Structure 1
Amino acid sequence: MVEREVFSTTRKPPIYTRYVDDIFVLVRDQRELEDLKATLQHVSGLNFTTENSINGKLPFLDVKIEASPQGFKTGDYSKPSSPGLCLNGNNGCPSRYRKSTIGAYVRRTLSHCSDWNRTHAELDRITQVLVNNGFANKEV
């Protein structure tokens, strides 16, 4: 494992998490990030790119992470280019598929949002996405 070799000779950051080819890491400064990137590239032979937070906010996978004095706050993240498409509620598919689509959105919201304000805003957003895709208000 690449991380085992890298962190046997380099200080492991307080937060380092990886999912397939995406890494979220908390470092002290840009120099520490560049050093870690160079070490990972040297050990693995892979090319890494970095994305820095902007105003303490950074998307990671489908989660928007925001640094605050109390810790991290999280919410759902959709790319600005997302067209907001999902299963069409008017396509005559079995009701269990429509229910499953709604349930998946709700579970994602409940697992990703760290407070009620973010949860409520995301539930409003997904309600609109579902209605825009042919789901009945009553069903949502």
Structure 2
Amino acid sequence: MLEWEQYLIAYQASKNEIYGRYIDDIFMTTNESIDEMKNILDRANDKDVNIKINYQIGKSIDFLDITIHNEDGRLRTCLYHKPSAEPYILPYSSDHPRHISRNIPYAALLRAARICSDVNDFHAECIRIDMSLLLNEYPPSFSRKQFYHFFHCNNAMNVLTALNENGYRHLHQKSLYQPTRREKQLTVVLKDAVLSPAVLKAKIWDKTIMYPRYQFDASNCKTLSVQFYKWWNIYYKNEKASVRTVKIRLVANTNETVESYLVHKKPPKERLTRMENDGHNR
């Protein structure tokens, strides 16, 4: 695919146009006529018998999870939702730690702010997110709190209260160019090869931090951590205790899902091969 697309990349560069590809999905812009673009794409389609493309030309197309509109030479982007997609997210009543429920609306709003280039499209997506939360039994007070948290953290309260266009433009640009966690990790690796060597090695055990795990239960999740830290401060954080300088980070183990009980993945290839060899030996 990399060799096959070089012709299209060079052609788009010569016309100062956009070319982008993700796996086997390609997006291109052009000011050529439709007949001219069809000839170019047909020639590309005949280059390799193993690669066949189906193309769509228009002022509005769907690319991955984005709908792109051409409005008099200006590209407007918004989220694309499949017609058959249902507004299903993790139900609020699900037995998961509350930080997971809090992350769902925040991540959805961040995704919408990155993709939607127009404030009205973003507003429509906010309504869709709010409706999805309600349909999955999230309390309205919880949703309002998480919406407020998102706009407050991103210094965009004028977008929440008045749909301020300039405020949203700043939010969109900030969210669009904000590096992901993976990108931040790669930056650290490239910046300091000594602290983050390319060759994997065993992680040094930090004896100053302890991560006790417990089985999450929604019925006592609020009181358990408070009681645990209280006991820790009484019995282990005194002057005589050897672990008084150790920091504690409680970690919740989520409960098994129905999928984990009903779905079993295929065993590793090594195990299957070993079973076949054992059968032949018998």
Distance of 1:114 and 1:33 partners within structure 2 = 27
State how many pairs are aligned: 136
SS at match of 2:5: helix
CA RMSD of aligned residues (A): 2.0
- Pair 1:34 & 2:18 matched: no
How far is the alpha carbon of 1:40 from its aligned partner? Answer: 3.0
SS at match of 2:124: helix
Distance of 2:72 and 2:42 partners within structure 1 = 30
Q: Deviations over 1:90-117 (max 9, x none)?
A: 2121111112211221111100111211
* Bigger RCO (CA 8 Å, 6+ sep): 1
Read off the aligned partner of 2:110 and give its amino acid letter.
R
Identify unmatched segments of 5+ residues in structure 2. 144-282
Q: Deviations over 1:25-65 (max 9, x none)?
A: 12323323323323333334311111233xx2222111111
SS at match of 1:135: coil
Match of 2:97 in 1: 94
Identify unmatched segments of 5+ residues in structure 1. none
Distance of 2:75 and 2:118 partners within structure 1 = 11
- After the TM superposition, which residues 76-87 of structure 1 pair with which residues of structure 2 at under 5 Å, given as runs? 76-87=79-90
Larger radius of gyration between Structure 1 and Structure 2: 2
Read off the aligned partner of 1:58 and give its amino acid letter.
I
User: Which one has the bigger strand percentage?
Assistant: 1
Percent identical among aligned pairs is 25
2:56 to 51, 54, 69: 51
Give the TM-score normalised by the residue count of structure 2: 0.44
Instruction: Detail structure 1 runs of 4+ shifted over 4 Å in the superposition.
Output: none
How far is the alpha carbon of 1:70 from its aligned partner? Answer: 5.4
Give the TM-score normalised by the residue count of structure 1: 0.84
